[in-house]
Structure formats: structure tokens, C-alpha cells
Amino acid sequence: MNTFKKLKEFYLPYKKYFILSAIFMIVTTAITLVYPVLLQKTIDEVVIGQKFGIIPYLVVGYLVLMAIKGVSTYIQQYTGDYFGIIAMYKIREKLYEKLQFLPFRYYDNAKTGDIMSRLTADVQGFRQFLSFGFSEIIRFVLFVGISIVVMFSYSVSLTIVTILALPFLIIVVNKFDKQVHPAFRAVRKSFGHLNTKVQENISGINTVKSLSKEDFEIDRFHTFNVDYRDRNVHNSNIWAKYFPLMEFIGNACIILLLSYGGYLVINDRILPGQLVAFYSLVGYIIFPIMNLGFIINIFSQGKASGERLLEILEEPNEIKEKENAERDVTLKGDVEFKNVTLNYPGDENAALKNISFKAKPGSVIGLIGATGSGKTSITQLIPRFYEAVSGEVLIDGINVKDYDLNTLRTQIGFVLQESFLFSSTIKANIAYGRPDVSMEDIVNAAKRADAHNFIMELPDGYDTLLGERGMGLSGGQKQRIAIARAICINPSILVLDDATSAVDMETEFAIQKAMREVMHGRTTFIIAHRISSLKHADEILVLEDGEIVERGVHEQLMTNNGPYERIYNIQFKDQQAILQSQMG
């Protein structure tokens, strides 16, 4: 029960609904257990004893009990369901909240489909146990406990003979539990993998179709689907193997009852009605014990689901705020790296090695280098998306670890290489960082990003509803809306991570012209592969394998005969040679 203890904060506050459900469960169970007694009275006193005068009382009593049971069952089921539903709601809220604050490191390895599976199927699996599992355990204890007490009141010897088979049934149920729990956990894990495959395929459907890989994707899905099928079949095999055995033991118990019970009736040691009541009471013991398989099923699903939920809820977040963190301060944008080294989890090679530089407020820092050289890693340390292994990252002379995360990140604007837009209006996407921003500021941000004109050409203008991930817009249009979104928060520090890579040269020139005004007074980091985007930078850092190998302004770097000049030659001189040869 350790899993359920760890998750108690989500259901224990609502225990009153569970207690209410349990009370009415006791009422319905008690009424159910009265039926065999009524049956015994009917046979022994009415049929055999010829006391026909008590029939009306038995009928009225039975109808009253049925009415009470009906009302009690309704209240018990409603409150039990509500107990599970409200706990499920709270767990899903907490999971989503946790996912918002988990660091980038977690998402580097997490699979979207698996996360979705945990937020849906696993939350539902845990809710099933809360709504039905707990109540079924109580029902089992009541049925077995009260039935045995009533049976002993009828005949001690018959009760002992009848329950001789129960230890064997309990042993089988215990073995069933040990096999079914790992099987259910494997099913849940396989379902997460299947979900991930579907999610990745749908997200990358353009790539799949452009490369004509439909058959390949079908085969890959088939592999995951077969695994999920086989694990469910294995689970079904466990059920199919143990339930007939449990049924055989239960029937053996009933045979013992009828054989010895018949002997006792023949010898006038018990009445026929008592034997019939005894038979009913044995059913209230045998079938609940056999039903333990169903309870264990719910319990195992709930436990397996709970374990997967805890993996997210207990995931450590190394990006923590100090109690006395700097809050509500306006950043000037004085950024300094002092001997900073960064290692990503699971990667032995350092992403950054002893990086040191200083960016004065309002300056423009260009970052250039091959893919994987560490350009993006530098910018991700500024808002503490990752934590440096050693060294310090300072803003305005204060370590970024000493800032409140909200204060820090709301003053750093990012325009990433892959622009993500939400399924909402263009207006809402631009204002995402500042929901209270005026329409005038939204339009102004769009104009600065060279997005206003194409937005106004759309049927609904700024109220145009975008599809998933900005579907319906070109790559360049999405990029310009992302730039407008960053401008809208009026950041002190601006990071442009290859922000113009998705636009043509003419649009890039227009955006760069507009951005020069935007960058004025803001510390700006420009990550680019095109030197044309960096030529105006106050300092350019050239990176290789996580180290700064060159630094300086464009003119200075062009005289060093180093990596920067080689990149320039590749991008410009070779192109000019090709053009000249074509013209000749």
C-alpha cells in the first residue's frame, strides 16, 4: 500500500465521501445478508412449521428492506464515484502543474505519448481503485466476516467443514496477485509506448509523406501494437489460468457443504431451512473470495498506475529558487559568464567548457559555430533552463541562481529556431507573454516584426484562429509572429536563436532592419549560421566543441585567418565564384 500512502494527499481530504460511501455499503451488505435469514424463516416456519400468518410480515419486511437497499445503493455508488472523481481531478491538476515546472532536462528524454498516457489512462486506472477498489475490499470483509458469524450460530461443525477449502483458495489468490501486478504494469508501459508512437507519427506526418515512409511507419506501429497485444494476451492468460482453479476450489467447498449438511439434516441436527440459508451464506463467502481476482485486478491496475504517476510527481527539479530570491526588479541586461562549464545528463562530453565573456547592457552578442558547438547552450543558461556544473552566470552582477525565476524569465525574450504557435488567435499568440497587453502594443509588436501586413491580409486579421502548431501559416510567417511575441513582453535581454532561418533573404533583410530598432537598448544574443545576421554585432563569439576559439567584431575576425573567416569564405566567396562562372 506504499504507493497509495504516497498519493494520500489527493484523496484523504475527501475522506468524508468515502466514509459516507462505506456507511451505506455496510447498510446494503447487512440487508443482503438478511436475505438468507428470511429464506430460512420462510422454509422452517412457514413451509415446515405451517405458520402462514407471518407471511404478510415477511413480505412487508422484504419490500421495506429492498427499498432501503435501493436508496442506500444509490448513495453508496454516487459518493464512492465522487470520491474517485474528485481525487482524479486533483491528481491531474497536480501532474499538469508539475509538468509545467519540470526542467528542460526532463523533457530531453521524456516521450510526449507516454506523458499523455499517464495523464489519461493511468489517472483513470488509479481512480478506478479509489471509486471501486476500496469499497469492494470493505464489501469482501463484511460479507466473509458476517457470513461466518451467522454460519457458526447455525452449526459449528458444518461451518468448520465448509471452510476447510478456503485456505487453498486464499493461496491461489495470493499467487494470482503476484503474477498479475507485474503484468498490468507491463501493459501500462506498453500502452505508453504505443501512445508515443502515434503522437510522433501524427506530429511528423509531413515528413512521413514527403519521404514516402507510410509503409515503414505502419510496420513500426505494428511492432508496438503487437507488443501491447501480446502483453494483454499474457494478462488474459493469467486470468484464464487462475479463475477456473479458484472456481474448482469454491465448488469443492460447496460439495462439502451439501454432503455434510445433508447428513446433518437427515439426522435432525439442523433444519432444512438452515441448510438452505447456510448454502446462501457460503456463496457470500466463496464468491467474494473468488471476486478477489477482480479486486486484485483493480488494485494492481491502481498500483501500477499510481507508480507511474509518482514517477512524475517525485521527479526532482534541480532548478530551485532561494527563499530570499530577488523579486520584482528590472534587469538592466548586464550579462557575464565566468568560467562556465555545462554537462547535459547522460553525456560525458561537456557542452560548454570554461566559457567567459561579458555583454554590456544594450550590446549585441553574436554566436556562430557548427551544430553542437554550444551556441544555444549559452543562451539556455541565462534564464536557468539548465544549471551550470561550475562557474557563474551573472546578470547585473547577481548570480542567476539568486533571482526569482518568474522575475528572471519574464524579462528574457526568446525567438527559437522552430517557432511554436498555439491553437488560438494570432492576437492571443502575440500577447501570450503579456495577456493584459493592449491591442495597440500587439499591433506595434507585429509591425516591428514585419508581420502586420500579412496578418491584415488574412480574413479575420488578428482574430484569425490558427491550427495546431500554427498550421495555415508559412514558416516565415510563423517566425515573424514568434518575434512579435518576444517583442511584446518588452524584454531586457533578447535571444534570437537562428530566428530568421525560416525566411527568405528579402524577408530576412526586412526583419533585421526592423529588429535593429527593437534591439536598441536591449542586450541581444543572436545565434545564426548566416554571417550577414551577425556583422553588426558588438562582439562575435566563435565556438567549437563547447569552447570559444575566436572573439571580436566582424572586421577584426576577418583579419585573423581563423574559423570565422573560413565560414565567411564558404558563405560568400564561393557563391561569388559560382555566380561569376555562370555569368561567364
Q: pLDDT by residue (tens digit) across 124-148? A: 888 888 888 778 888 888 888 888 8
Tally of residues, the chain = 584
CA distances from 36 to 174, 267, 582 (A): 30, 22, 102
Look at residue 469 in the predicted model and tell me its pLDDT: 64
Whether residue 488 lies inside any domain: the answer is no
Do 493 and 382 contact (CB within 8 A), yes or no? Answer: yes
Residues 272 and 384 placed together within one structural domain of the fold: no
Judgement on whether residues 342 and 302 belong to the same structural domain of the protein: no
Q: What CATH number corresponds to the domain at position 548?
A: 3.40.50.300
Angle between helices 292-313 and 55-101 (to 10 degrees): 20
Do residues 375 and 231 share a domain? Answer: no
End-of-domain residue from the set 313, 339, 370: 313
Do 245 and 119 reside in the same domain of the chain? Answer: yes
> Beta strand 412-415 with 493-497: parallel, antiparallel or unpaired?
parallel
Please, which pLDDT band fits residue 222 given cuts at 50, 70 and 90?
confident
The amino acid occupying position 318 is E
Structure confidence at residue 360 (pLDDT): 93
Residue 231 and residue 153 in one domain: yes
Task: Judge contact between 184 and 301, C-beta under 8 A.
Answer: yes
Evaluate whether residue 510 is within a structural domain.
Answer: no
**More confident of the two residues 449 and 24:** 24
Planar angle of CA 257, 258, 259, nearest 5 degrees: 95
Regarding whether 137 and 50 lie in a shared domain, the answer is yes
512-516, 528-532, 542-546: segment of lowest average pLDDT: 512-516
Model's pTM, two decimal places?
0.73
| Residues 80, 197 share a domain | yes
- Mean pLDDT (whole number) for 19-40: 85
Distance CA 43, CA 265 (A): 13
Per the structure, the complete domain to which residue 403 belongs is given by 329-411+533-577
Question: Residue range 388-400: average pLDDT?
Answer: 92
Band (pLDDT 50/70/90 cuts) for residue 503 is low
Residue 481 lies in a domain: no
**What 3-state DSSP class applies to 502?**
coil
Q: How many whole angstroms separate alpha carbon 448 and alpha carbon 514? A: 5
Question: How many domains in the chain?
Answer: 2
Q: Are residues 294 and 397 in the same domain?
A: no
The reply to whether 262 falls in a domain is yes
Look at residue 504 in the predicted model and tell me its pLDDT.
64
Q: Which of 288, 313, 338 is a domain's end point?
A: 313
Residue 514 in domain: no
CATH code of the domain in which 180 resides: 1.20.1560.10
What is the helix, strand, coil percentage profile of the chain, to 5? 65, 10, 25
Do 299 and 129 meet the contact criterion of CB atoms below 8 Å apart? Answer: yes
Q: Is residue 53 part of a domain?
A: yes
386 & 306 share domain: no
- State whether 174 and 144 are in the same domain: yes
Helix axes of 439-448 and 475-488: crossing angle, nearest 10 degrees: 130
Please determine, for residue 359, whether its predicted confidence score (pLDDT) is greater than 90: yes
Residues 372 and 253 in one domain: no
Mean pLDDT of the residues in the chain:
82
Q: Which of 313, 340, 369 is the last residue of a domain?
A: 313
**Residue 383 pLDDT exceeds 80:** yes
Determine, yes or no, domain membership for 41: yes
- Residue 230 resides in a domain: yes
Count of C-beta atoms within a 10 Å radius of residue 444: 16
Indicate whether 265 and 343 sit together in one domain. no
